[in-house]
Amino acid sequence: MNAVESSVNAAPVADWRNYPIHANLAGVHSASDRLSVTWSDGRISPFHHQWLRDNCACNQCVFSVTREQLFEIVDAPESLHPQRTRIDEHGHLLIDWQDGHHSSFHPGWLRAHAYDDASRAERFARQPQSRLWGAELSEQLPQFDYPSVMSDDSALLQWLLAVRDIGVTQLCDVPTTEDVLPALAKRISFIRESNFGVLFDVQSKADADSNAYTAFNLPLHTDLPTRELQPGLQFLHCLVNDATGGESVFVDGFAIAEALRQEAPELFRTLCETPVEFRNRSRTSDYHCLAPIIALDARGVVSEIRMSNFLRSAFDAPVEQMPALYSAYRRFIAMTREPRFRVQRRLNAGQLWCFDNRRAMHARTEFDPASGARHFKGCYIDRDELLSRIRVLQR
Amino acid sequence: MNAVESSVNAAPVADWRNYPIHANLAGVHSASDRLSVTWSDGRISPFHHQWLRDNCACNQCVFSVTREQLFEIVDAPESLHPQRTRIDEHGHLLIDWQDGHHSSFHPGWLRAHAYDDASRAERFARQPQSRLWGAELSEQLPQFDYPSVMSDDSALLQWLLAVRDIGVTQLCDVPTTEDVLPALAKRISFIRESNFGVLFDVQSKADADSNAYTAFNLPLHTDLPTRELQPGLQFLHCLVNDATGGESVFVDGFAIAEALRQEAPELFRTLCETPVEFRNRSRTSDYHCLAPIIALDARGVVSEIRMSNFLRSAFDAPVEQMPALYSAYRRFIAMTREPRFRVQRRLNAGQLWCFDNRRAMHARTEFDPASGARHFKGCYIDRDELLSRIRVLQR
């Protein structure tokens, strides 16, 4: 790359991103409905007239205070053409439109938003990828130090990247007071409330409104599959754990789903395509959600696991699909029990789990409430808030 | 129907639903992997052995306090068969399993969960359906009286059903104090927080972090398309509106999407299939979301509109798809501007809008901040909480 490197904030309207110039504009050619831009590294990027007019960032088209568009593309004719195009002495692409409007595009911004195949593939390759794990994570558990995370933004960022990419993390040296969890959450964003409260107490209760609030073995599950959006991150802060039993278990739901895709593709497809209902009813609430157990993103990558056997309704599927649904469901549960996927750890007072609730299924082994106290404090934060915080820390 | 009607709470474990007996069990026949049940009205319902064992509601299989399953189907062999089946003197289906376990099924519960084609079609037909509207809603605006909604559960239910099925409602006789909105929200559930706060103030501000906080014309949009889950309900409570201009505009995004499906099916498909990025950046947050403008549910019915031109990123689609994307996007915006779809109303002090933010796009005409004060207080509640509240009120 022989292009001039620069890292000025070059967008016409500040949006907190930099657009370094990786290649210069070398030429512009007109076609019927688009311009074809040639870059100094040989790449050719087509830009449709509509796209260019739509992305004009002048002060008439975008409000400089909010950096939000005032113009709407439907207010320009569909046939709008450039009258004149040129590359100016700063390397910007200038367009004089037929209707008298003028637009100017910074080469760094234009390259960052080019939609030729090579540019799109480059952007795709830069997206964060999940690192799948199995039982070996037990030896390499991502552990972070609470005082550092609270005081140091780079320690905070390292922790949050591990939450995003690995999905299970542990904080150590956490004070065992009830004000810790709200303070920690605030380091990231605001808390996602539910009918169980802003904070919830995981304790064995006589009047339990969830099996989570008993001393039973609680099989591997995600929390609140009964909601359209399952909570993104779950925090479990151990205040006291003097009871016998009650170890934490985690599996990587993404790793299990990918293994299922390899080992039994038709069962994987069944879990991606069959909506299953989850429900939770109490005297004051009545939640239902109907969605598949495995969700894929637009690229076909596993993006979410929704699963809690104890919150599942009776399967409701066409008669001919029922046997396949049971085969797939049985296989999935059986896989969550396989040692190759499982990490089992006791959480002690002063430790805290933070995990991706839509990826890492979690479980608790049975404990004996007569043997000692056990009290975890919990809360949720959504993935949107995690990702927003990471982007701000990375600016 | 000559079946005995009864409305005892007949599920073995109370789940706050009644299972009236619309038909009695008339016979049970065994097939290889299922039982075939004949009802007194002639309907035949197959039930697979796995399904029946999975739904055993005895005290061993379900914890009676939480009404949640303890048993997991993978703990029964895939080949499990009934040893003996019969209908007892109460009309229940009894099964003695090969492995010694016993199950009993109430005929009302069994019929309510039968998955033969006729039973599934019956359940499908009972699901609530959106009532689509256009400009004529202006003459029939669903209006409710705040004092009644606060004091009377049946008035509350009528209002919430209108929110669910029509998507735009107005409350009148609302006190103009800032404590009203949290109290009203509490009648339904808890508030969905965002980076704009638990409550937000819609006012013209010099340091606006959204075009919503200016005096500009704000085109038809949904709020927070930048989040994976757009807020379900939006509340806008008018405390003062002495400014010139600033009228509220609503369109039914579902009605526009259905009209587009009729009038230009290929453009409709483009908006259902092309992910579009929405983003909102401030000094302390940086939200992105990539999703199509129109979302369909599992039945192919329009279930969500995600659209805000001023929060949209540059389109990023393969070159050959870009012209179709612009055609579809232009057409959609043009439709939101058509008089046939639009309801325009001024909201005055003491009035409140409550609308489905994922369905009813809303706009504000330009106002003159020098002409008088204008202050709306806003908050969000999600659809899950609305539906839960409706179900509890309907018990």
Cα-based distances in Å from B241 to A111, A202, B199, B361, B378: 46, 47, 18, 21, 14
In SS3 terms, B338-373 reads as: CHHHCEEECCCCCCEEEEECCCEEEEECCEECCCCC
- Which among A361, A322, A355 has a CA at the least distance from the CA of A341? A361
Task: Give the separation between CA B352 and CA A169, rounded to whole angstroms.
Answer: 44
CB contact under 8 A, B383 and A310: no
Among the partner residues B68, B189, B290, nearest to A210 by beta-carbon distance: B68
Among the partner residues A54, A229, A330, nearest to B74 by beta-carbon distance: A330
> How confident is residue B14, by pLDDT bands cut at 50, 70 and 90?
low
Q: CA torsion angle for B274, B234, B254, A228 (degrees, to 10)?
A: 60
CB contact under 8 A, B333 and A48: no
Residue A16: pLDDT over 80 = no
CB contact under 8 A, A384 and B219: no
Cα-based distances in Å from A164 to A90, A178, A307, A380: 39, 26, 20, 14
Residue B245: pLDDT over 50 = yes
Per residue in A19-34, pLDDT tens?
A: 999 999 999 999 999 9
Q: What is the mean pLDDT of residues B345-353?
A: 97
DSSP A24-59: -EEEEEE-SSEEEEEETTS-EEEEEHHHHHHT--ST
A283 CB neighbours in chain B (<8 A) are: 16
Shortest alpha-carbon distance between residue A16 and chain B (Å): 8
**What pLDDT sits at residue A209?**
76
Residue A66 touches chain B, beta carbons under 8 Å: yes
Q: What is the mean pLDDT of residues B163-179?
A: 98
B284 CB neighbours in chain A (<8 A) are: 392
Both tokens of A20, joined, read 């370094």
Task: Give the separation between CA B162 and CA B168, rounded to whole angstroms.
Answer: 8
Name the A residues in 126-185 with CB < 8 Å from any B CB: none
Residue B270 touches chain A, beta carbons under 8 Å: no
**What pLDDT sits at residue A15?**
67
- Which among B333, B265, B325 has a CA at the least distance from the CA of B292? B325
Residue B22: pLDDT over 70 = yes
CB contact under 8 A, A208 and B55: no
Q: What is residue A276's three-state secondary structure?
A: strand
Q: CA torsion angle for A67, A70, A73, A74 (degrees, to 10)?
A: 160
- Which among A146, A281, A92, A48 has a CA at the least distance from the CA of B392? A281
- Which among B3, B364, B370 has a CA at the least distance from the CA of B212? B364
Residue-averaged pLDDT of chain B: 93
> How confident is residue A14, by pLDDT bands cut at 50, 70 and 90?
low
Bridge-based pairing state of the strands A276-281 and A302-305: unpaired
Contact A315, A324 (CB under 8 A): no
Residue B7: pLDDT over 70 = no
CB contact under 8 A, A326 and B229: no
Phi-psi category of residue A172: left, alpha or beta, with phi > 0 → left and psi -120 to 50 → alpha? beta
Name the A residues in 288-307 with CB < 8 Å from any B CB: 288-290, 298
Residue A80 touches chain B, beta carbons under 8 Å: no
Residue showing tokens 């311009």: A35
B384 CB neighbours in chain A (<8 A) are: 226-228, 287, 289
B193 CB neighbours in chain A (<8 A) are: 190-193
**What pLDDT sits at residue A350?**
97
Q: What is the mean pLDDT of residues A92-104?
A: 97
CB contact under 8 A, B73 and A311: no
Residue A13: pLDDT over 50 = no
CB contact under 8 A, B290 and A298: yes
**What pLDDT sits at residue A393?**
97
Per residue in A284-330, pLDDT tens?
A: 999 999 999 999 998 899 999 999 999 999 999 999 999 999 999 99
**What pLDDT sits at residue B134?**
98
DSSP A288-318: EEEE-SEEE-TTS-EEEE---GGGBPPP---
Minimum mean pLDDT range among A65-69, A117-121, B193-197: A65-69
**What pLDDT sits at residue B217?**
86
**What pLDDT sits at residue A117?**
98
**What pLDDT sits at residue B17?**
72
Q: Which residues pair with B37 in a beta bridge?
A: B28, B45
Residue-averaged pLDDT of chain A: 93
CB contact under 8 A, A210 and B66: yes
Task: Give the separation between CA B240 and CA B375, rounded to whole angstroms.
Answer: 5
Residue A9: pLDDT over 50 = no
Both tokens of A119, joined, read 């540019």
Q: What is the mean pLDDT of residues B209-217?
A: 81
Q: What is the mean pLDDT of residues A170-182?
A: 97
Residue A370 touches chain B, beta carbons under 8 Å: no
Among the partner residues B213, B309, B329, nearest to A69 by beta-carbon distance: B309
Minimum mean pLDDT range among A80-84, A339-343, A344-348, B298-302: B298-302
Shortest alpha-carbon distance between residue B315 and chain A (Å): 7
DSSP A194-240: BTTBSSEEE---TT-SSGGGSSS-EEEE-S-TTSSS--SEEEEEEEE
Residue showing tokens 């001039």: A4
Shortest alpha-carbon distance between residue B286 and chain A (Å): 5
**B189: Cα within 13 Å, side-chain hemisphere:** 30
**What pLDDT sits at residue B298?**
81
Global pTM reads: 0.94
Q: Which chain B residue has its CA at the smallest distance from A322's CA?
A: B48
Shortest alpha-carbon distance between residue A140 and chain B (Å): 31
Minimum mean pLDDT range among A192-206, A336-350, B254-268, B376-390: A192-206
Contact B278, B289 (CB under 8 A): yes
Name the A residues in 327-356 with CB < 8 Å from any B CB: 327, 329-330, 333-334, 337
**At B270, which amino acid appears?**
T
Q: Which residues pair with A250 in a beta bridge?
A: A343, A362
Residue B265 touches chain A, beta carbons under 8 Å: no
Name the B residues in 188-227 with CB < 8 Å from any A CB: 189-195, 206-211, 213-214, 216, 219, 226-227
Residue B18: pLDDT over 70 = yes
Q: What is the mean pLDDT of residues A226-240?
A: 98
Q: State the count of interchain CB pairs (< 8 A) between A and B.
A: 213
Q: What is the mean pLDDT of residues B162-173?
A: 98
> How confident is residue B13, by pLDDT bands cut at 50, 70 and 90?
very low
CB contact under 8 A, A310 and B209: no
Residue A31 touches chain B, beta carbons under 8 Å: no
Q: What is the mean pLDDT of residues A170-191?
A: 97
Contact A376, A204 (CB under 8 A): no
Task: Give the separation between CA A266 and CA A272, rounded to whole angstroms.
Answer: 10
Q: What is the mean pLDDT of residues B144-171?
A: 98
Both tokens of A313, joined, read 């309704």
A317 CB neighbours in chain B (<8 A) are: 115
Per residue in A164-173, pLDDT tens?
A: 999 999 999 9
How much of chain B, in percent, has pLDDT values that exceed 90?
86
Q: What is the mean pLDDT of residues A70-91?
A: 96
Q: What is the mean pLDDT of residues B327-344?
A: 98
Residue A4: pLDDT over 60 = no
CB contact under 8 A, B72 and A219: yes
